[in-house]
Structure 1
């Protein structure tokens, strides 16, 4: 006979995903202003680092990649690192909903919506759009996931100003949710310096230190959009006395704007009198292409080639532009790098591949080596009579990032290190 309802409870999780966990910042960051005291576990830390041989880079370059696209499934990417702290504050304040903003295909909005669903919070997303009819927004990519997890989405003007148009909308929505439904909301404005949000990549810097980056690399590469990730890496590099050089490839705005954002963050953290953004990070312009969220044929083709030759999926808005720019600079402008041991931080964004751009270009491409063939008759040969001299799928033979590791039980397992 079951005791105390054991049969009814046997499939329940033993831990509540909204459990607040105590957080102590790394010793080297303990003196910074505004350090949070709690967090919520949302992602898998210690994302792997492995060799990455992308097309076109010089033979003497040792390029590696840190797989922050492996922080989770629907919460893949860098955004979830800051949400561990932001949404912990929301839970601590006993909020019932979270309100944030971004572009229609925003990774931040998608990650926030999924995380909110896990924590039992409502997600309300203000999405910049040139379209005014929701029926014109095809539910694919991040928009599809937003809908699947039940997020409420509001189309706002594409050129809406954060301070004068977006934040007031967030405040109006929060007020209505409070008055009509008695719901308390937590607001996350994007693009404003936040001591809590920057903690995500300050903590990530400690993770990188634990992975031995100071001994293994000369330069760190990251994509910069709002600036929090790049700021966290650059500040961590400075505070720990690391000699690495931090580079951030801009996919929107210009270097002056980003330096202003990072300097504001330094001021809030209490470091503004000690260092300036220009002293701790190299912001690289010139690879925005046709603009934020827009892709050139060259960028799409580069993403396809990287996927074909390395198995790594880049996104068209962020990492695709940054990796393409890095490949060009390693070939034609090596002087900006400290050395030849380079680590690229993959910040995710995989669902950007499902917004239609890649589908269109692959439909138009007929020389793709991953073509679909018809093989209905078992008696027919599946391969052409004169196969090309390339390896299957166009892969080049190269050192394999997959290594055999000794397992704790005496056997071996395959892993990315």
Structure 2
């Protein structure tokens, strides 16, 4: 058995790291009651490649290359940040990328979908009921399709959230711990949006080793608390088994802040859009309505309610999503008044 601190899984250094850790001082002046808020700027992992997915894909795509694959198949919503990052990184690495997308495409393409097309990805769009019902079969179909062409395909699940992807935010936790030492803080709480569970899994086990005084909270943007507790546990057990690690993953503290899903995945209430606009005007920090906007709104609401205590420091992990703002443009009409 190996300690994850000493493990060396295959990795391609594709993100612009380390990302900054910054205090939100003007927001703190506006809302002074509660812990000081810092933001880990993982929206700055690249330009078109911005966001948290790249940290996980550094390991997933390295594994694909390690296995001699020339094609990557992955999946997500029509405006998936993960699919956009995968498409661009595959182009960078010379891999064919095939995206299985959930939704109803009405041209012209916008946001992440436009970037998928620019990156040259093969795109198959399926209605949501079929996508949900048949995803495993669809993966198998396309794997066999490429095998018949003499190609070798590597499948990456939603959000690169599996035992391989855990490494992305395990390593990010070590980086964050170094950031905290540099600025002289010991955060009591770390908070992120959670949509497929992989970022939360990596942060939770990473903090277990590198920031043991911090509680990691995932704000679910779909499904519910029980689903994410189970999903994070599955990812961590797969991670431990795949790499023969000595981590007692059942001892890892996993916490979920529920009740902020709103109307559903990739849908938001007006209060979320107004929170996004407020933070952009106050700090020049842009969130998105699908992930970070909901998570940061939860942070402010729960901080005001006293969940995180009265003082100390907390870190919000900004997981990106900038391109997801544009397809929601009509919901910001209040800015015109």
Q: TM-score, normalised by structure 1?
A: 0.73
Residue of structure 2 equivalent to 1:201: 169
Contact 1:36 1:196 in 2 (8 A): no
Shift of 1:267: 2.3
TM-score normalised by the chain length of structure 2? 0.90
* Residue matched to 1:330: 303
1:50-72 Cα deviation digits (max 9, x unpaired)? 11143853345311101000000
The alignment partner of 2:85 has SS state of helix
String of CA shifts for 1:324-363, please: whole Å, max 9, x gaps: 11111111x21345853111100001101121x23x2444
Q: Which residue of 1 aligns with 2:84?
A: 110
Higher relative contact order structure (alpha carbons within 8 Å, sequence separation ≥ 6):
2
Specify the SS of the correspondent of 1:40.
Answer: coil
2:209 maps to: 239
For 1:269-293, what per-residue CA distance to the aligned partner results, in whole angstroms no more than 9, with x for missing partners? Answer: 158994537x612200111111110
Corresponding position of 2:254: 281
State the superposition RMSD in angstroms.
Answer: 2.4
Instruction: Give the 5 Å matches for 1:65-144.
Output: 65-129=39-103, 131=104, 134=105, 136-144=106-114
Select which of 194, 207, 222 maps to 1:224.
Answer: 194
Match of 1:22 in 2: none
Mapped pair 1:253 → 2:202: no
Q: CA deviation at 1:264?
A: 1.4
Contact 1:218–1:338 (8 Å) recurs in 2 = no
Structure 1 pair 364–281 and aligned structure 2 pair: CA distance change class (3 A): same
The size of the alignment, in residue pairs, is 328
Q: 1:124 to 1:338 in 2, by over 3 A?
A: farther
Structure 1 pair 261–362 and aligned structure 2 pair: CA distance change class (3 A)? closer
Query: Is it true that 1:298 corresponds to 2:268 in the alignment?
Result: no
Q: Which residue of 2 aligns with 1:347?
A: 319
Aligned position for 1:45: 17
The structure where helix makes up a greater share of residues is 2
Whether contact under 8 Å (2:70, 2:151) holds in the other structure is yes
Equivalent residue, structure 2, for 1:386: none
- Alignment partner of 1:62 is 2:62: no
Query: How far apart are 1:193 and its partner, in Å?
Result: 5.9
Q: Partner of 2:123 in structure 1?
A: 153
1:69–1:346 CA contact under 8 A, matched in 2: yes
Name the residue aligned to 2:140. Answer: 171
Q: Which one of 249, 267, 274 corresponds to residue 237 of structure 2? A: 267
Deviation string, structure 1 residues 202-259 (Cα, Å, up to 9, x no partner): 1111111221358432211111111111111111222347111111111111111111
CA–CA separation in structure 1 for the residues paired with 2:281 and 2:142: 45
Q: 2:221 touches 2:261 (CA, 8 Å); kept in 1?
A: yes
Q: In 1, are the aligned partners of 2:53 and 2:159 still within 8 Å (CA)?
A: no
Does the 8 Å CA contact 1:38/1:88 hold for their aligned counterparts?
A: yes
**Residue aligning to 1:400:** none
The match for 1:314 among 287, 291, 297 is: 287
Q: Describe the superposition over 1:66-118 as per-residue Cα deviations: whole angstroms up to 9, x where unpaired.
A: 10000001110000001111111111222221100000000010000000000
CA pair 48-166 structure 1, distance change in 2 beyond 3 A: same
- Structure 1 residues 155 and 337, CA, compared in 2 at 3 Å: closer, same or farther? farther
Query: Partners in 1 of 2:222 and 2:52 — Cα distance?
Result: 17
- Greater radius of gyration (CA): 1
Residues in 2 aligned to 1:160 and 1:45: alpha-carbon distance in whole angstroms: 38
